[in-house]
A and B are shown apart, each in its own frame.
Chain A
Amino acid sequence: MSMRIELDEPKCVAAGQCVVVAPDVFDQRDEDGVAIVLDAEPGPEQEDAAREAAAVCPAAAIKLVER
């Protein structure tokens, strides 16, 4: 099993919850706060945090493809 993160950037409202929950996976762009994926294929130790980030995103902008 591995995980790939897809960010639907136009949906992002920069609430920043993903950064709080998974700081090693997400950051925010300096000029407008829009999320940046730091690690699009996070290792197993980051997967729970990535799942929580997707769950708390208020704009449902984070998709996880698990395969």
Chain B
Amino acid sequence: MSDSVVPEYPMQREAKCPFAPAAGVRTMTREDPVGKVRIWDGSEPWFITRHADQRALLNDPRLSIEETRPGFPHMTRGRAEAAKHTPPLITNTDAPEHTRLRRTVNAPFMVKRVEALRPRIQEVFDGLIDDMLAGPKPADLVQAIGLAVPTIVITELLGVPYADHKFFQTNSSRTISHESTPEEAAAAGGALAAYLGELLQQKMAEPAGDVLSEMGARVRAGEMTASEAVHMGVAILIAGHETSASMISLGTLALLRNPDQLALLRESDDPKLVANAVEELLRYLTIVHTGIRRIASEDIELRGRTIRAGDGIIFDLSGADWDAEEFPEPEKLDLTRTARQHHAFGYGVHQCLGQSLARVELQIAYGTLYKRIPTLALAVPFEDVEFAMEGVAYGLKSLPVTW
């Protein structure tokens, strides 16, 4: 707890240990767990980094996610602008409205529905590996596998024609990038919404077995509006895209840097080990690194400090997932540790809607790739791998691999 300069947030990871949370985040987790940071608009929200504190607060009804409340600590200027025009969604409402909205979109992401997709995702994955192995060396794993898997899965899930996937990749990344101006982000989001709006109308006329058709039926039944359905479709696309892609590519890079752990996956046929490896890589990488945001609606006491009603609060998920009190030796990638309680998907009622789908994608990826290509290796020195640090989640620009 110091009175010195309030650090700027988001903070930069260090080039020499890119998997670790920013040094400033780790210092605050240890020394100033109920601290403050300064964000883009000059405001100074609270900054919560301990695992136990996040668990307590993210389920506390005295916190709100209503981003139109004055003082809400928005991620970027663009997000602050967009918030004024965004209808009620699962990402900006509290209970009971949140509960109603979430129940209209849960069904396709249920464990049994997602498990039913497993054979098809495995087939997609196997085909992508065949194509990569048949092509030239080195290959870029980000393009060949990382982005391709979630792109195909999410377009199939929503019922978006695969032919339009370039359009989606471009616009979804533009919508969430910190390098986009507010106008560019809004234009890209608008283009996606317009496209999905038309597709929703088509699906309402001719329903198929996909998520957009299912939402179309709920619109007709008066359970949700067409605008909610379209915003939800855009959100599913964006949220399911780069996150899974980053986890596949970054996870592979992390495993190549930890060959003893890679060997565990390559040599085991135990689905439990693979499932645990997914949880540990989710913890270790915690790719969402710009914090999740709330605002206090009442005064809250925490570790002797008072968070006042109206104060903004930022939760750095990587801080909690590298909190040594919860995960001893957090810097160690240990595929056998107990890691399921990580916050990589957030915590509380807003925890990731698509987490079961992400788990299946990653179990297939980590459980298949290194067995199919046991000699997989980096084609460039580690120092030359280019990271993409500017988004809501970090990832890799490319991952040149050979075998």
Check A32/B347 contact, CB under 8 A, given A15-B355, A20-B111, A55-B341: no
**Contact present for A16 and B111 (CB under 8 Å):** yes
**Contact present for A14 and B348 (CB under 8 Å):** no
Q: How far is the CB of B111 from chain A (nearest CB, A)?
A: 4
Chain A residues closer than 8 Å to B341, beta-carbon distance: 55-56
Chain A residues closer than 8 Å to B351, beta-carbon distance: 13, 15, 58-59
B59 in the interface (beta carbon within 8 A): yes
**Contact present for B104 and A32 (CB under 8 Å):** yes
Check A30/B99 contact, CB under 8 A, given A58-B351, A59-B349: no
**Contact present for A33 and B349 (CB under 8 Å):** no
**Contact present for B340 and A14 (CB under 8 Å):** no
* Chain A residues bordering chain B, tally (CB within 8 A): 23
State in angstroms the CA–CA spacing of A16 and B349 once bound together: 12
Check A33/B99 contact, CB under 8 A, given A13-B349, A52-B340: no
Chain A residues closer than 8 Å to B187, beta-carbon distance: none
B103 in the interface (beta carbon within 8 A): yes
Chain A residues closer than 8 Å to B347, beta-carbon distance: 58
* Chain B residues bordering chain A, tally (CB within 8 A): 26
**Contact present for B110 and A16 (CB under 8 Å):** yes
**Contact present for A32 and B111 (CB under 8 Å):** no
Question: Which of B58, B347, B352, B356 lies at the interface centre, i.e. has the most chain A CB atoms within 10 A of its CB?
Answer: B356
State in angstroms the CA–CA spacing of A15 and B350 once bound together: 9
Q: How far is the CB of B58 from chain A (nearest CB, A)?
A: 8
Check A13/B99 contact, CB under 8 A, given A20-B356, A52-B340: yes
- Within 8 Å by CB of B112, from A17, A28, A58, A60, lies A28
Check A32/B107 contact, CB under 8 A, given A14-B102, A60-B59: yes
Check A32/B103 contact, CB under 8 A, given A52-B340, A58-B348: yes
CB closest chain-A residue, reference B104: A32
State in angstroms the CA–CA spacing of A60 and B58 once bound together: 11
A19 in the interface (beta carbon within 8 A): yes
State in angstroms the CA–CA spacing of A17 and B109 once bound together: 12
Q: How far is the CB of B380 from chain A (nearest CB, A)?
A: 37
**Contact present for A13 and B110 (CB under 8 Å):** no
Question: Which of A14, A19, A28, A60 lies at the interface centre, i.e. has the most chain B CB atoms within 10 A of its CB?
Answer: A14
- B338-391 interface (Cβ within 8 A of A): 340-341, 345-352, 355-356, 359
- A9-37 interface (Cβ within 8 A of B): 10-11, 13-17, 19-21, 27-28, 30-34
Q: How far is the CB of A9 from chain B (nearest CB, A)?
A: 10
Chain B residues closer than 8 Å to A55, beta-carbon distance: 341
- Within 8 Å by CB of B107, from A13, A17, A33, lies A33
State in angstroms the CA–CA spacing of A33 and B211 once bound together: 14
State in angstroms the CA–CA spacing of A20 and B363 once bound together: 13
Which residues of B are at the interface with A, using a C-beta cutoff of 8 A? 58-59, 96, 99, 102-104, 106-107, 109-112, 340-341, 345-352, 355-356, 359
